[in-house]
Amino acid sequence: MRVLITGGAGFIGSHLADALIARGDQVVALDNFSTGSTANIKHLTKNFELVEGDIRDTKLVQDLVSQADLVFHLAAAVGVSLILESPIESISTNIFGSENVLLAAAQFKKRILIASTSEIYGKGVKQPLNELDDRVIGSPQKLRWSYSDAKAIDEAMAVALHHKSNLQVTTARLFNTVGPRQSSRYGMVVPRFIGAAVKNTPIPVYGNGNQTRVFCHIFDVVDALLQLVATDKTVNEVYNVGGIGEISMTELANKVVEETKSQSTIEYIPYEKAYAPGFEDMERRVPDITKITSAINWTPQRDLSRIISDVAAHITNS
């Protein structure tokens, strides 16, 4: 198969490319390198084509989608820090860019999977988060919510195009996905903690460290994405894709220190200092993965210790 991955030079996209090429597919990656990097894909020489360009380029997207058998739409402005630093560019990419890709998939009748996010759920207190739960979103004046809002519009566009044009689309709501190649530059917590631990510098924990997350290894996420598009029964459905095992940021920092045998201490940084006054975070974000497990029999296979050792090895060797 010829598979188009938008955001193919990014963290998740490059691992997905690895898996597709390993099974014999041909991959075309469309990326503008805003957060992606050539380092992620430099090992890909066979059955791999890189197209440097923007998902907002309608003609380019139409050309690439028309030639593909399958599309994974992963390109997005990602990460709280980036959304806050470049809100206009981020909103434009995440709404207009996704609309472009979805319209092209509908026009050329291509099977597509789009990456949504656990940010969709916002700051509701009910946990674990189920696909049918209502969204509880802060004011649009707080720009961090624009990522959640944009991804919600993408999901709605996918549903609408399924109804209007029978678009064969599946939506994956990814929870915290971690592993080698994830950049710490845009506020991602695991590479940030491990990067500090391997240098024995203080580990920066935002807020009081009681906020929790659930992490999923990139290899498990790639397995889920591949299985989701391998069947028609997932068409016009949305699935949480996330790990098992909730952990607070203080516990995570301690576990990172222990498993990397680091001398680092923990440094608590108030949110107002890390981001801006009035910054809102979610206390918990726990996925209910019952739906994906019953649909395709997927559960994550790799635990947090494996995640930490794989990320630490990558940081140390790069």
Ligand X SMILES: NC(=O)c1ccc[n+]([C@@H]2O[C@H](COP(=O)([O-])OP(=O)(O)OC[C@H]3O[C@@H](n4cnc5c(N)ncnc54)[C@H](O)[C@@H]3O)[C@@H](O)[C@H]2O)c1
Catalytic residues, which ones?
147
Token pair 């969204």 is at which residue?
135
Task: Identify which of residues 240 and 262 has a Cβ nearer to ligand X in the complex.
Answer: 240
Judging by DSSP bridges, how do beta strands 111-117 and 203-206 pair with one another?
unpaired
- Is 12 an interacting residue with respect to ligand X (CB under 6 A)? yes
Question: Which residues make Cβ contacts (< 8 Å) with residue 285, sequence separation at least 6?
Answer: 118, 121, 127, 129, 175, 176, 212, 213, 214
User: To the nearest whole angstrom, how small is the minimum distance from the Cβ of residue 147 to ligand X?
Assistant: 8
Task: Identify which of residues 29 and 253 has a Cβ nearer to ligand X in the complex.
Answer: 29
Of residues 75, 95, 102, 167, which one binds ligand X by CB under 6 A?
75
Of residues 3, 28, 50, 55, which one binds ligand X by CB under 6 A?
55
User: To the nearest whole angstrom, how small is the minimum distance from the Cβ of residue 304 to ligand X?
Assistant: 14
Say how far apart CA 234 and CA 215 lie, in whole Å. Answer: 23
Q: Point out which span in 169-177, 274-282, 284-292, 304-312 binds ligand X (CB under 6 A).
A: 169-177
* CA 222 to chain centroid: 11
* CA 209 to chain centroid: 22
User: To the nearest whole angstrom, how small is the minimum distance from the Cβ of residue 115 to ligand X?
Assistant: 4
User: To the nearest whole angstrom, how small is the minimum distance from the Cβ of residue 201 to ligand X?
Assistant: 24
Q: Point out which span in 3-11, 127-135, 232-240, 259-267 binds ligand X (CB under 6 A).
A: 3-11
- Determine the angle formed by the axes of helices 304-317 and 189-199, rounding to 10 degrees: 60
- Is 242 an interacting residue with respect to ligand X (CB under 6 A)? no
User: To the nearest whole angstrom, how small is the minimum distance from the Cβ of residue 159 to ligand X?
Assistant: 17
DSSP string, 262-281: ----EEEE-HHHHS-TT---
Q: Which helix (H) or strand (E) is 87 found in, with range?
A: helix 87-92
Contact set for ligand X, span 107-136 (CB under 6 A): 115, 117
Of residues 4, 32, 83, 95, which one binds ligand X by CB under 6 A?
32
Task: Identify which of residues 88 and 164 has a Cβ nearer to ligand X in the complex.
Answer: 88
Angle ∠(76,77,81) on CA atoms, nearest 5: 150
Say how far apart CA 303 and CA 245 lie, in whole Å. Answer: 8
Instruction: List the end-to-end C-alpha distance of the chain, in Å, as a whole number.
Output: 32
Residues in contact with ligand X, shown as a per-residue x/- string from 176 to 205 under the rule CB under 6 A: xx----------------------------
- Is 241 an interacting residue with respect to ligand X (CB under 6 A)? no
Of residues 11, 193, 206, 279, which one binds ligand X by CB under 6 A?
11
Say how far apart CA 121 and CA 216 lie, in whole Å. Answer: 18
User: Where does this chain bind ligand X (CB under 6 A)?
Assistant: 7, 9-13, 30-36, 54-56, 74-78, 93, 97, 115, 117, 174, 176-177
